[in-house]
Amino acid sequence: MTITEAHVATDTWLERYDAAVAGVLPSYFELIADRAEGSWITDVEGRRYLDFGSGIAVTNVGHGHPTVVAAIERQVRDLIHTSVVFRHARYIELAEAVGRLTPFFDRPQVFLCNSGAEAVDGALKLARKTTGKGGVIAFRRAFHGRTMAATSLTTAKGKYREGYEPLLGGITVVDYCVPGEHPSEAEAVRAALAELDAVLSLQLPDGNVGAMIVEPVLGEGGYVVPPVAWLEGLRRRCDEHGIVLIFDEVQCGMGRTGHAFAAETFGVTPDVILFAKGIASGLPLGGIVAPAALMERWPNGAHGSTFGGNPVACAAALATIEVLLRDDLFARAELLGARAIERLCLSTAALDVVTDVRGIGLMVGVELRDKDAASAVQERCLADGLVVLTCGPGENVLRLVPPLTLSDEELDHGLTILEQALADVV
């Protein structure tokens, strides 16, 4: 294909997209993906991009990992769908595998669905059904999904809620603990917990609040790593008030923080963990995992799903977990993330455009002075063959979430492109 033909192909696809696809669906870039492998995506023009976005933290073991592809192919030939008419082996095996990733839970049990937002909705139903209390505490700058209940909990950006009110009632939003907004980490913890205590004592009698849902690492809200002391404070208050503590690990789970789940990384055990994104390498799958003592109080038939726990998605998830464990990718995430943060802190120290570099494992945030600067860096990176996503309330944080299978050379190549883009913006 010639360059001219390639451009025509892209333009033709974009015209068809605009004609056929609902305009409400957003996209970062006006590119048409054709294929992907490992840490690279190729568009219909044949141009390759190093992917530091992973489909928003989804392709944790890379695009099209051979082990995952082989598992999908085998399962498609055997069994594609059962719904709740029949039980199937892959669902059972995956529930057992996820349980082994949560050694801090006593007899963990799993419910599978199709997405992170569905897991959020299900967890709210679980908490309400088992506590008899409908009130929910959520945190400012959170992103929990796009369904109506998940949107009601989401405050990362006003546009996610605009035009959809009235939303789900009974939700109280309090401050997330953002260390950079205070003189010290200790002061950040004190202020955030003081506000929570005031809300619990003045606004929310114990008989009203059944759930507290929090991202143990803030995702869409800016890639903020909170102090462990704050998460420990949440745990104590949930114990004191009989509240179900829910960790939404949809974005930070499946190895990103150096362990399967951030709950283990931080040493703070919630009552419920939600997962999706990185669990099945791009196939739609999400879920809820909690101790049997809680799950057994959720009556049979009180919740369900037609497609949740689809055999093919479960096979992909089992293979994904196999690769994560076999190749020690949790440790790899911790190693590469530390290298990236150290290098970026040094290389950007003299750049006024960069106001912070932070992260944990392979969840790295580079905060810039404003949205325009972030957009300019993102565009320059794309022009040089690197996919970088943005996030944060001001859309001024570059989030780096490459596959955990990223090679040393690929990491260095991507960071070099990013550093040059930052220097050029200055």
pLDDT tier at 9 (50, 70, 90 boundaries)? confident
The region, left, alpha or beta by phi > 0 then psi within -120 to 50, assigned to residue 43 is beta
Residue 390: HSE in the Cβ half-sphere, 13 Å Cα cutoff? 24
Model confidence band, residue 7 (pLDDT cutoffs 50, 70, 90): low
Positive or negative, the CA dihedral 324, 329, 330, 333 is negative
What is the Cα–Cα distance from 30 to 13, expressed in whole angstroms?
A: 10
Q: Encoding tokens for residue 323?
A: 């690769």
Length in residues, the chain: 426
Closest-CA residue to 42 (of 71, 1, 74): 1
Question: Residue 301 has what pLDDT?
Answer: 96
Determine the pLDDT at residue 38.
98
Tens-place pLDDT, residues 201-231: 988 876 799 999 999 999 999 999 999 999 9
- pLDDT in the model for residue 207: 75
Q: Give residue-wise pLDDT tens across range 252-294.
A: 999 999 999 999 999 999 999 999 999 999 999 999 999 999 9
> Taking the complete model, does pTM exceed 0.75, yes or no?
yes
**Does residue 151 register a pLDDT over 90?**
yes
**Residue 371 neighbours by CB distance under 10 Å:** 14
Q: Are 105 and 269 in contact (CB under 8 A)?
A: yes
d(CA 247, CA 263): 8
Residue with tokens 């509240």: 243
- Confidence at 397, pLDDT banded by 50, 70, 90: very high
Q: Specify the DSSP class assigned to residue 302.
A: S
How far are the Cα atoms of 64, 342, 381 from residue 422, in angstroms, in the given order? 31, 16, 9
Q: How far apart are CA 196 and CA 189, in angstroms?
A: 11
Each residue of 87-139: pLDDT tens digit?
A: 999 999 999 999 999 999 999 999 999 999 999 999 999 999 999 999 999 99
Strands 397-400 and 363-368: antiparallel
pLDDT at 5 over 60: no
DSSP secondary-structure letter at 259?
Answer: S
Amino acid in the structure at residue 189? V
pLDDT digits (tens, 9 = 90+) for 156-189: 999 999 999 999 999 999 999 999 999 999 999 9
Q: Name the amino acid, one letter, at 148.
A: M
Active site residues: 143, 248, 277
346-375 pLDDT tens trace: 999 999 999 999 999 999 999 999 999 999
Q: Distance between CA 305 and CA 159 in Å, rounded?
A: 29
Q: Do β-strands 48-51 and 386-387 pair in parallel, antiparallel, or remain unpaired?
A: parallel
Cα→Cα distances 377→36, 220, 335, 355, 381, Å? 23, 18, 25, 14, 6
pLDDT tens-digit profile of 229-254?
A: 999 999 999 999 999 999 999 999 99
